[in-house]
Amino acid sequence: MRLIPNKIKPILLASMLAVGIIPAFLYSWISSEKLSTVALGQIAKGISSRTNIAAKNIDDIIANRLLSLKVLSSSPIFEQDAPIASYPASDSQGFISHYLTKLTEVDQAFNAIHLVEKKGDDFFISRSSRSLETVTLHNELRKFGLINIESAIKQMAATGDNVFISVPQDLISVPCLLLITKVNNDSDTAASEDRYLVVEYLLSEINESLTYFTDNIASAEYVFIINNDGNTILSGKNQGRSLQVFNDFKQNYSAGAFSENNMQYGVSHYTNRYGDDLLTTVSPLNTLSNNNETRWSLVTITPQHVATQAIDYLYRYFMLALLFTACIVMVLSIVLTKRITVPLAKLARFAAQFKLGNYTSQHTLKGPHEFQVLQEALNQGATKIAYDTQRLNQALEKAEAADRAKSTFLANLSHEIRTPMNGMLGLSQLLLKTDLTQEQRHHLLTLLDSGKHMMSILNDILDFSKIEQGQFKLNKANFCITDLVGTIESTYYSLAKEKGLDFSIQCHFDSNSWFFADKSRIRQILFNVINNAIKFTDKGEVRVSLNQGQCDNPKERKLIITAQDTGIGIAEDRMQQIFDPFSQAEISTSRRFGGTGLGLSIVRQLANLMNGDIQLESAYGKGSTFTITLVVEQGYYKQEKQQEVEFDRSTFINLKVLIVEDNHLNVLIIESFLKQYGFNTHAVENGAEALKILEHVYFDVILMDNHMPVMDGIEATKRIRALNSAICQIPIFACTADVFEETQRNMLRAGADCVITKPLDERKLQDALQRFKSKITAMASLRTEPEDITPTMPAKASSSLLMNNNIEEAEILTTERDIEPVSEQSDTDHSFDILDQNFSLDINNGEGCDITLDPTQFKHIELSTLLEMMDDDHNIVVQFLMMFTQEHANDVSKFEQALKQSDFDAAVLISHSLKGASGSIGAFKVSQAAQTVEKKVKIKALPTENEIALLAKELQCVIKEIHQQLTVTAI
């Protein structure tokens, strides 16, 4: 049995040597020479590139110097014909000489600067950075091998160069050269004859650059600058030294060893007198030249053994590594044979049991760690299925919990959006009942129509199952295309004008045509594409056109919508992705323009549902054109039925309504609707207060909100229906911003008679009152005839009274005789005290003095915005302000008390209510401070003392300002 495992040793050894080590040795031996040649070529390229970069750096240094000289020659300082007042006329150098002296002190590379002028036929130094008594033009030129300046001027004129560059001097001690350039000025005076700057430029900074380059390369390498004759001009730290390497280079240079024919990869090879192979690169300097001829070149000399030193080391290490690896392979082949074959055999037998369905675990295997891991994995194989099943069940529970959380989140989101929409649409409906101009009425109708459209879209978006599965139900009806065109134009014309865009919408067929289709979905398509066009267009225009096409079915028509803009456009590779959910043209678009990327995805889904499609043509940076084709049926004129509910006001006069609502703006709107029909109203903020007041006060109908603090509407409704008295039969209308069917069913199951969704529509309220009119009046008759009901009469005993009123679903109200009903004054009088008890206003009836507010006197409230929203109705604004002071003056104290009790839910409700209320009256600083603390408590974090103090300070200022201004105005 041991013979088979023992045969693995020689097999493993031979296979490892044959596969790994031997080929490596052969490859190294065959390719070593070729590898060295290739590597040497790459090294030569690297040396050449390094030299070119160094030459470019030196060129930049010289170019900057020449640029500085050019700027100096064009300086307006040379147009000064007289000394500056701060410099005495007795000063022989004058202002220009002083200026040149300062330049040489600041920039020591310019050793001396002379201004040379021509007087008659001779040139002389008129100004200098040195004393004029110690310098002469002849001496300065002679130091650089020039007889006179005229020769330099003629050479510049012949070559077209702006600067004359002399031959370097003092190469051993202080290398320098002479630069001559003409002074440029615009003076037209007689003093503007030819003037030249003669600058003695020290080459020390170039030499320092060579030194730095030398310090960063191998010590055996040399870097120096030569002239056209091969003579060394600058050599860095070797400056002034006559080295043999320089002489050897000059001999080969003079012999033409560095011509282009002898260069390979920019490098020339030659051997010095000692037999060393040298790699030499010559890179010309293009800056210092006259007559367009290169005069200087940068040279680097690198011994070949230095360049290939790394390759030699690598080759030696490679061979040593191969030998070491061969030894290790032989040792491992012996050890691994025993460590591998025995555990493998056991694992093979263990795995074979799985074929028979035996998943019994085995004991821990002795062997390599990997085999132990493998056996452990096999041991877990039997329990893996059960474990995975358990995980799937847990995942399912988490998914269901996430789905419930999602529904809760969407319900809260619906409530947060629909609550302010209730205020906007409710006030719009109230304003429509006032005296308005034709333009105001048109704007209000457009606002109301757009708000209703927004709520219609919101209802579909919040229906998560429809969005998730792509199931949109079309609600077809007859409509005229003029309605769509008018709404679109009135909505987006002003928006486009605000951005400076031209906006037009044209209908290329009879605008009075009627179609039978889903009007709201077509309008949603138009809104989405036009909104995108305006949002992504900064200048130019947005054009929308409507066309009609024929279909195979004579009863159908093609509605072709084209939206064209001159905006940012869409890249070609992004045209398909933008129709995907949560996708935009560019990632940065979401940061610059905002949005979720759902608009075009919804448009495509709606177009597909209408048997149409959407096409895109776009040029990046020029604009986009969207073409949507929809198949609609031919419609006909059909007058929209207005289900106006006519009320007999005498039926509802003095009937009592209990409004259970925590949002005071909604209370104001509901009260305004109800009081038009004679109702008396009373409002409480939550279900607990409603239950408490029902113990003492008679009401004929209840309007119940759902999301409220302390006790929500569902719980309150259940408790009212569970009362052991006839009050449990009172009609309850659930008014909620939660549009989920589950929530509405819960309200109905709790005992609500009907559900009215927010934003509150007057017609919905009228319809509910009409349908439950008999039940409401029956409750009123019971309230006005207490002798028919004994104080202790149970609900069942008095049911016959409601049966006589033909209300099968109603039960009978029982009351206590010894409890007096609340007077009408207590139900309707909501006057607020302001500063003192002598000043009050009736906010319900609007009676009393007419008040006119001055917006300029309000510093903490943007009163003009509030007045504009209320159509300059100062009395309504006063009501809002008084209501705010009464309801929210102590919100900070309530908020702090909730934090002390760690009641974060109450803290969220308080801060959220204050944020919305303060924003509604234009107290934006209070709203922002409330939003800051609300964010903290929503995540159950405590706001800082400064944040709470800021909220208290801003709120106190607003309350005080309201008190003062209303008191002054009333007086």
Distance CA 350, CA 359 (A): 9
Q: How confident is the model at residue 9 (pLDDT cuts 50, 70, 90)?
A: low
Pairing of strands 613-619, 656-660: unpaired
Span 953-967, average pLDDT:
88
pLDDT by residue (tens digit) across 563-599? 999 988 888 877 777 777 655 655 544 445 545 566 7
Q: How confident is the model at residue 953 (pLDDT cuts 50, 70, 90)?
A: very high
CB 365 within 8 A of CB 343: yes
Pairing of strands 222-227, 232-234: antiparallel
Q: Which pLDDT score, from 0 to 100, does residue 871 have?
A: 57
Would you say residue 910 has pLDDT above 80? yes
Would you say residue 214 has pLDDT above 70? yes
Q: Which pLDDT score, from 0 to 100, does residue 16 have?
A: 65
Distance CA 179, CA 876 (A): 86
Residue 172 or residue 892, greater confidence: 892
Q: How confident is the model at residue 791 (pLDDT cuts 50, 70, 90)?
A: very low
Residues 467, 481, single domain; the answer is no
Q: Which pLDDT score, from 0 to 100, does residue 146 have?
A: 86
CATH code where residue 582 lies: 3.30.565.10
Specify if 139 maps to a domain.
yes
Q: What domain count does the chain have?
A: 5
Domain C-terminal end among 752, 783, 814: 783
Would you say residue 951 has pLDDT above 90? yes
Specify if 802 maps to a domain.
no
Residues 254, 117, single domain; the answer is yes
Distance CA 893, CA 901 (A): 12
Closest of 723, 676, 674 to residue 700, by C-alpha: 674
Q: Which pLDDT score, from 0 to 100, does residue 187 have?
A: 56
Structure-derived torsion over alpha carbons of residues 114, 117, 123, 124, reported in degrees to the nearest 10: -50
Residues 741, 608, single domain; the answer is no
CB 803 within 8 A of CB 811: no
One DSSP character per residue, 475-539 reads: --EEEEHHHHHHHHHHHHHHHHHHTT-EEEEEESS-TT-EEEE-HHHHHHHHHHHHHHHHHT-SS
Copy the structure tokens of residue 357: 């369905």
Would you say residue 701 has pLDDT above 90? yes
Residues 107, 245, single domain; the answer is yes
Q: Which pLDDT score, from 0 to 100, does residue 291 have?
A: 58
Specify if 566 maps to a domain.
yes
Residues 464, 490, single domain; the answer is no
Q: Which pLDDT score, from 0 to 100, does residue 411 have?
A: 58
Residues 140, 267, single domain; the answer is yes
Span 514-543, average pLDDT:
88
Q: Which pLDDT score, from 0 to 100, does residue 837 have?
A: 32
Specify if 654 maps to a domain.
yes
Distance CA 471, CA 467 (A): 7
Copy the structure tokens of residue 931: 């939003």
Q: Which pLDDT score, from 0 to 100, does residue 750 have?
A: 92
Specify if 523 maps to a domain.
yes
Would you say residue 47 has pLDDT above 90? no
Distances (CA, A) of 161 to 27, 180, 287: 59, 10, 11
Specify if 817 maps to a domain.
no
Would you say residue 662 has pLDDT above 90? no
Q: Which residues contact 182 (CB under 8 A, 6 or more apart)?
A: 73, 156, 162, 194, 195, 196, 197
Residues 383, 272, single domain; the answer is no
Distance CA 873, CA 853 (A): 10
For the ranges 594-603, 609-618, 841-850, which has the lowest average pLDDT? 841-850
What rounded mean pLDDT belongs to the chain?
76
Tell me how many degrees the CA angle 356-361-364 measures, rounded to the nearest 5: 135
Helix (H) or strand (E) holding 963: helix 945-970
Distance CA 834, CA 26 (A): 104
Q: How confident is the model at residue 947 (pLDDT cuts 50, 70, 90)?
A: very high
Q: How confident is the model at residue 955 (pLDDT cuts 50, 70, 90)?
A: very high
Helix (H) or strand (E) holding 60: helix 22-73
In degrees and rounded to multiples of 5, residue 179 shows phi and psi of -115, 130
* Residue 794 preceded by cis peptide, ω within 30: no
Distance CA 930, CA 919 (A): 10
CATH code where residue 273 lies: 3.30.450
CB 781 within 8 A of CB 656: no
Domain C-terminal end among 729, 752, 783: 783
Span 436-461, average pLDDT:
73
SS3 369: helix
Share of the chain above pLDDT 70, in %: 73
Span 623-633, average pLDDT:
92
Would you say residue 731 has pLDDT above 70? yes
The residue type of 93 is: Q
In degrees and rounded to multiples of 5, residue 847 shows phi and psi of -85, 165
* In the block, residue with structure tokens 């309605």: 483
Span 173-201, average pLDDT:
77
For the ranges 205-219, 315-329, 905-919, which has the lowest average pLDDT? 315-329
Q: How confident is the model at residue 55 (pLDDT cuts 50, 70, 90)?
A: confident
Tell me how many degrees the CA angle 553-555-559 measures, rounded to the nearest 5: 90
* In the block, residue with structure tokens 């004054």: 825
End-to-end CA distance of the chain: 117
Distance CA 177, CA 200 (A): 6
Strand partners, 222: 301
For the ranges 258-272, 481-495, 612-626, 773-787, which has the lowest average pLDDT? 773-787
Boundaries of domain holding 603: 474-634
Structure-derived torsion over alpha carbons of residues 84, 85, 89, 92, reported in degrees to the nearest 10: -40
SS3 179: strand
Would you say residue 721 has pLDDT above 70? yes
Residues 627, 694, single domain; the answer is no
CATH code where residue 390 lies: 1.10.287.130
SS3 903: coil
Residue 34 or residue 63, greater confidence: 63
Distance CA 630, CA 535 (A): 24
Copy the structure tokens of residue 381: 């194989």
Span 125-135, average pLDDT:
85
Would you say residue 141 has pLDDT above 50? yes
pLDDT by residue (tens digit) across 395-441? 878 877 776 666 566 656 666 676 677 667 777 777 877 788 888 88
Q: Which residues contact 588 (CB under 8 A, 6 or more apart)?
A: none
Would you say residue 87 has pLDDT above 80? no
DSSP 8-state symbol, 567: S
Q: Which pLDDT score, from 0 to 100, does residue 658 have?
A: 94
Span 126-136, average pLDDT:
85
CATH code where residue 771 lies: 3.40.50.2300
Q: Which pLDDT score, from 0 to 100, does residue 787 have?
A: 41
Residues 198, 256, single domain; the answer is yes
| Dihedral sign of CA atoms 744, 747, 752, 758 in order | negative
Task: Write out 778-809 in H/E/C secondary structure.
Answer: HHHHHHHCHHHCCCCCCCCCCHHHHHCCCCCC
Q: Own/partner pairs for 499-502, CB < 8 Å, 24+ apart? A: 499/534, 499/537, 499/538, 500/539, 501/534, 501/537, 501/539, 501/540, 501/541, 501/542, 502/540, 502/541, 502/542
Closest of 676, 737, 677 to residue 706, by C-alpha: 737
Q: How confident is the model at residue 688 (pLDDT cuts 50, 70, 90)?
A: very high
Q: Which pLDDT score, from 0 to 100, does residue 944 have?
A: 93
Would you say residue 523 has pLDDT above 70? yes
Residues 207, 245, single domain; the answer is yes
Longest dimension (CA), the chain: 138
Q: Is 240 left (phi over 0), alpha (psi -120 to 50) or beta?
A: left
Buried b / exposed e along 654-669 (16+ C-beta atoms within 10 A): ebbbbbbbbbbbbbbb
If 0-12 CB within 10 Å is exposed, 13-18 middle and 19+ buried, where does residue 257 land? Answer: middle
Question: Of the segments 296-310, 368-382, 639-653, 800-814, which one has the largest average pLDDT value?
Answer: 296-310
Q: How confident is the model at residue 628 (pLDDT cuts 50, 70, 90)?
A: very high
Specify if 727 maps to a domain.
yes
Q: Which pLDDT score, from 0 to 100, does residue 815 have?
A: 29
Residue 307 or residue 947, greater confidence: 947
Specify if 723 maps to a domain.
yes
Residues 629, 674, single domain; the answer is no
DSSP 8-state symbol, 131: -
Domain C-terminal end among 743, 761, 783: 783
Q: Which residues contact 676 (CB under 8 A, 6 or more apart)?
A: none
CB 453 within 8 A of CB 528: no
Distances (CA, A) of 570 to 527, 528, 529, 588, 619: 20, 17, 14, 13, 6
Residues 275, 130, single domain; the answer is yes
Q: Which residues contact 699 (CB under 8 A, 6 or more apart)?
A: 656, 657, 658, 682, 730, 779
One DSSP character per residue, 253-301 reads: HHTTTTSGGG-BTTBEEEE-TT--EEEEEEEEEEEEEETTEEEEEEEEE
CB 590 within 8 A of CB 584: yes
Q: What is the pTM for the complete model shown?
A: 0.35
CATH code where residue 881 lies: 1.20.120
